Amino acid sequence: MNGVNVLPGLSVSGTLFLAPMAGYTDFVFRSLCAEFGADLCYTEMVSCEGLSRLNKKTAELMKRGDAEKQSAIQLFGVNPDSCFEAAKNAAALNPDIIDFNCGCPVPKVVKTGAGAALMRDHGLLKELVAALKAGTEAAGKKIPVSVKIRAGWNAEEINAPETAAAAVEAGAAIIGIHGRTRAQGYSGTADLEIIRNVKKAVSVPVIGSGDLFSPWDVKRMFEQTGVDAVMIARGAVGSPQIFMQIKEFLSTGEIRTVFSDEEKLRTARRHLRGAVAAFGERRACKEIRKHLCAYSKGIRNGTVLRNRIVRCATLAEYEEAFDGFFQSEGIGP
């Protein structure tokens, strides 16, 4: 469980990362996770087509949060020229890792040949990884390219170890592996044996992903797979504090810091205000709802708060919903 040493002369420190999640891991959320101990956070996936043209939206996706000391920009694409240009543009922002998405199961992405479809076309995958690497070098940077894969296309086509080996052959310096197949989406369970087989198949650092919802899950992932680092995904939504608890558990064997409902909700309010400041009230109030609902899970009378949150459309309405709940629960302002 040492820091993931990536390339000679370059290193990514820490073993506990925030996984990329489209629609969730914007810089406000990443910054909160970093504050609570995430060593490195991944951006949402950024289109190589858009980034190669320096599209305005991609700049916002790659923006770094104040508390983020290390960052990974995740790209997706299928065209070598766009991948080259996109990596060059991403490298100019000095991320610690440029990650390539080879696991997205969404039909709109897979239909173009990108995301998980690349697990079925190792020739193209190698070409794209080489283009990404060349792009970072063209920017005069030595930024490691990582590749994030799934277990395989479906239960009949489990080829993560071969895909990982192909990516490394083309120059990938790290492999991220989510132990589910494309066909599974986010259902079923992540297969730790496949993750272990990927770790055995390559000599570069491997980052494990899948079903990491508690410190115990993380410990099991490290012990049963031998991965060098892990990335937390859904387990961090509504619970950025999880990083602090995992770190405590891994270093001391126990969790001393327990977050009260009040502390969780104060973090939720900070998240809300940060999103409004970053994205404007209208947009933030729409996009933040799923996060706030997640914060309300597991707290006493959380359904009461949730029923209020789902009806809010302005910052004032959200603040009122929280104030009302704080009052009814006897929590100070």
Residues in touch with ligand FMN (CB under 6 A) = 19-24, 44-45, 74, 101, 103-104, 148, 178, 186, 190, 209-212, 233-235
Nearer residue to ligand FMN within complex by CB, 104 or 272: 104
Question: C-beta of 319: minimal distance to ligand FMN in Å?
Answer: 26
Active-site position among 83, 102, 104, 293 = 104
Alpha-carbon distances of 72 from 111, 157, 164, rounded to whole Å: 25, 29, 19
Please say whether the beta carbons of 236 and 244 come within 8 A.
no
Burial of 327 (0-12, 13-18, 19+ CB in 10 A): exposed
Question: C-beta of 45: minimal distance to ligand FMN in Å?
Answer: 4
Nearer residue to ligand FMN within complex by CB, 238 or 308: 238
Question: C-beta of 320: minimal distance to ligand FMN in Å?
Answer: 28
- How far from the centroid of its chain's Cα atoms is residue 88's Cα? 21
264 phi and psi angles, rounded to 5 deg: -65, -40
Nearer residue to ligand FMN within complex by CB, 26 or 44: 44
Please say whether the beta carbons of 196 and 166 come within 8 A.
no
* 33 is annotated as an active-site residue: no
Helix (H) or strand (E) holding 293: helix 289-296
Nearer residue to ligand FMN within complex by CB, 24 or 318: 24
Q: Give CA–CA dist 286/174, Å, rounded.
A: 35
Question: C-beta of 262: minimal distance to ligand FMN in Å?
Answer: 26
Question: C-beta of 300: minimal distance to ligand FMN in Å?
Answer: 25
Nearer residue to ligand FMN within complex by CB, 115 or 302: 115
Furthest C-alpha separation in the chain: 61
Q: Which residue is associated with the tokens 């508690």?
A: 214
Question: C-beta of 127: minimal distance to ligand FMN in Å?
Answer: 20
DSSP 283-311: HHHHHTHHHHHHHHTTSTTHHHHHHHHTT
Please say whether the beta carbons of 138 and 88 come within 8 A.
yes
Nearer residue to ligand FMN within complex by CB, 229 or 315: 229
DSSP 3-state assignment of 267?
helix
What are the E-state strand segments in the chain? 4-7, 10-12, 16-18, 40-47, 71-76, 97-102, 145-152, 174-181, 206-209, 229-232
Q: Give CA–CA dist 125/147, Å, rounded.
A: 10
Q: Give CA–CA dist 196/190, Å, rounded.
A: 12
Nearer residue to ligand FMN within complex by CB, 207 or 272: 207
User: Rg of the chain over CA atoms, in angstroms?
Assistant: 20
Question: C-beta of 168: minimal distance to ligand FMN in Å?
Answer: 18
Q: Give CA–CA dist 270/6, Å, rounded.
A: 34
Residues labelled as active-site residues: 104
